[in-house]
Structure formats: structure tokens, C-alpha cells
Amino acid sequence: MAQVLEFKLPDLGEGLTEAEIVRWLVEVGDVVAIDQPVVEVETAKAMVEVPCPYGGVVTARFGEEGTELPVGAPLLTVAVGAPEGASGSAASPSSPSSSSPSSSGKGSGSGAESSGGSGNVLVGYGTGAPAARRRRIRPDRLDRSVAEVPVSVAPVAEVLVAEAPVHEGPVPVVSPLVRRLARQHDIDLRRLAGSGPDGLILRADVDRAIRTAEETVAASARAAQVQAPVAAVAAAPNGVAAAPDAERIPLRGVRGAVADKLSRSRTEIPDATCWVDADATELMAVRAAMNAATGPSAGPKVSVLALLARICTAALARFPELNSTVDTEAREIVRLSGVHLGFAAQTERGLVVPVVRDAHTRNAESIGAEIARLTELARTGKLSPAQLTGGTFTLNNYGVFGVDGSTPIINHPEAAMLGVGRIMPKPWVHQGELAVRQVVQLSLTFDHRVCDGGTAGGFLRYVADCVEQPAVLLRTL
């Protein structure tokens, strides 16, 4: 006899509390192996493939693609045990006492071990067993193999509503037809009181719940028609109702995380911005010479962003006040010993800020290689949460968008961000004469709590001096 186990959305780490289903990797009826990825989710940090710690037959999925789930919400159920007529590596549980895996990032040993699962629910962990080829079990065999086991198939939207009592343990329903009917009409079987023997949920119980739900929806719709005009005017700015064809875009996933972080930055940080134009002609000449070098000592090409990043680490060594954060509860400025340099990268999923770890220990070539690696991961949506957190200072090259200047918003909880505009030919007074030079605008937004304008101006001036005369940087190498 099969045992149906419920797999819940695990804690993905980094303080994440929710994730959005991007793509299901399995269908109901598929046979999955232990630690096989079953769903791809998007968190506020990255895209993650979530492996299931159980091996068996998928009996239900909770949530459609695009649904946002909190940590601990059910993802799917798996019938553990060899179904009739199916061969493969579906694990047989050694203890029926475990009903769901742990919701922690690496699982707890008891629940998964007792069910034949590894207990590991993150990519990169697990038993290392190869993933089994997906096999579809015929519905009649699936129903027969799990008919003896109660299965919870309530939609996520209903599972999360806590207005009615919820069945503890397995839901008393046997008939696959009853389960299918409830699923089609978004009826949460956990909240139904069965009229059959020992509380068994019958089709009549589901039909009654469907009628009740339809009556409730109809009554709500009638009430909404009466209240909508007044509510729309009252809620709209200046008492003007929004256009009925206006598009509403949910702030969730990466976009929601960016919105929250920027709002928090502007709310908590008293920021100020200073800027300066710099002649980048010599910097561009030095870069061209670096990249034109040949022979055994010639390394990979060095980008302008890598050179600017190296200049930033040298400037932060001179002005460590800007490599800090503020502990608002303790009312303390926390000076950070190492520089973990973030750089803004625009992707199809939105703006992300990958972090170059220990940038203060790297040269321009090493920083450039790491920036290239992280940029490629950002473009493919494969950055891990750890690669997007822990920055101490951010470099924002908005010049790639063809603009000259901007006032960057600090990447909370950091203390400063350097913005770089496009480098373009402009008339410039050079050695007492008017000439065409490669000019760039540099903008520094800083937290006025960690330093005053003199320190911020000194930092920015040092960066500009290194851009105009790269030899200045040699003094610190």
C-alpha cells in the first residue's frame, strides 16, 4: 500500500519568506526520484530549482505557474511506494509516522529518512542519486495505487485561508472522482465535514460545498456592484476613479524586492549626492594599452568597469567611512573591514546587484573576470541568493543606457553608491587649450550619517583624479 507524503515549500535561506512558481518540472502521474527537481521558483533573490526529498508518484500539485507561495505552503504530494505495474526507484517508507518533510533549508533527518527521502531540499544537496527518467502512470493505475490513501488536493488559495476548522492529518476521502471534482471547483477538502461513515467525504458533500461557494460568490458580486463606484472614487487619488482599462502589475519577485529595498533606502537613509566631470582620456588610453599587450604576460581583456571598480577599492581604503553601515537600533556606525563590491546589472528579470567578494584583495584583471562571470549568471537567471547579498559598496554604470548623469539611490543597508555616466567626446580645456576629450560624469550618493560632505568630496575627487591620471593609482598598488 502506498503512503502519500506532502512536500512543502522549504526555507530557501537568506531570510526569504515566499517564492513564485515559475515552471513545474513534473506533472501529476509522473514518477520522481529522490532529490529530483520538481519545480522552478523565483524568489526575491534568484531563480531556484527545488528538489523533492521523496521518491514515488506525484499525486497532486498545489498552485499554478505564477502563484506566489509562502515558505511552508504545500508544493505537491507524492505516493511513496511501488505502484502496481510501475517499476523504478520509488522509495518504500520504513516508518508511516512522517507525513511531510522539514521546511528548513537542509531538512530534518527524521521526516525524510523515515520516508525514504534524503531530507535535502535545495539544489546542490542530497544523495547524489541520478534523476530517474520521467514516466507517466496511467490514471487508472494511479487511482488504484493510491485509492486507499487519503490525499489532500486543495488549491493553495484555499489552503491558506484559516477561517474554518482544518482536518488534522490525512483527509478522509477515497474516491478519485471526489478529489477531481473538488480540485476542478477549488474546494478545500480539508475544510469539509464528511457525511459518510467515520466522517468520509462523499460526492454529495462536495456538491453541497460547490453550491454554497457559488451562492457566496454571487452575493459578493452583487454587493460589489453596489459599492464599487463609491469605493473607487474614495480610494483614487484626488477622488478620481482609475480608468477601467488600466493595467495593474503586481510588485512581486525581483521587482517587488527592488521596490521594497529602494523605498526603505529613501525612508531610512538621509542621502546626499555630489558629482564631478572628469577627463577619462588617459584612462581609456591606459585600458587600450593593457588590452593591446601581447606575449605570455598578456591576460584577458580588461573592461572600463573593472578599472573603475579597482579605483573604488583604492578610494575606499583611503576613505573607509563610506564602506560602512548604520545600526539604527544601537545608533552605531559599523565600519566594515572588507570590501564586497556590488555592481548594478540590468536583466530581463529586472535590476539585480551581484557582489564581487573581497574586491579589496583583487587586481583589475581578477575583478573583471569575476564581473564577467557574475554578469553571465545574471543574464541566465542563475545567480544564487548568496551572490546577490552582502555587498558593502555599489558601483552603478548607468552610462550603458546612453545617459550622462543620475542621482543613485543607495543600496540599503550600504552607505554609498558611485554612479558612472557615459564616456563621450566633449570640448575640454586641456593644458590651457580647448580640446576634444573623453569626458565622464561621476556621481556619489552617500549616507550623511556616516560622514560629512568633506569626506564624500574627498572620495569622489580621488576617484576623479585616478580617472584623469591613472598613474595616481600606482601609489596605492
Give Cα separations from 267 to 59, 287, 409 (angstroms): 47, 40, 11
Q: Distance (Å, rounded) from C-alpha 6 to C-alpha 60?
A: 9
The verdict on whether 430 is a catalytic residue reads no
Q: Distance (Å, rounded) from C-alpha 287 to C-alpha 429?
A: 22
Q: Catalytic residue among 207, 358, 448, 465, which?
A: 448
The answer for 90, left when phi > 0, alpha when psi is -120 to 50, beta otherwise, is: beta
Q: Distance (Å, rounded) from C-alpha 476 to C-alpha 465?
A: 13
Q: Assess contact for 12 and 72: CB atoms under 8 A.
A: no
Q: For residue 146, give the C-alpha cell.
A: 493510491
Q: Catalytic residue among 140, 260, 327, 452, which?
A: 452
- Count the Cβ atoms, other than its own, within 10 Å of residue 320: 15
Q: Could you tell me what percentage of the chain is helix, strand and coil, using 3-state DSSP and rounding each to the nearest 5? A: 35, 20, 45
Q: Assess contact for 360 and 313: CB atoms under 8 A.
A: yes
The verdict on whether 452 is a catalytic residue reads yes
**Residues near 316 by Cβ (< 8 Å), separated by ≥ 6?**
322, 323, 339, 360, 393, 459
In single-letter form, the type of residue at position 219 comes to: A
61-66: long-range contacts (C-beta < 8 A, 24 or more apart)? 61/24, 61/26, 61/27, 61/28, 62/154, 62/155, 62/156, 62/159, 63/21, 63/155, 63/156, 64/21, 65/21, 65/22, 65/23, 65/24, 66/20, 66/21
Which residues belong to the active site? 448, 452
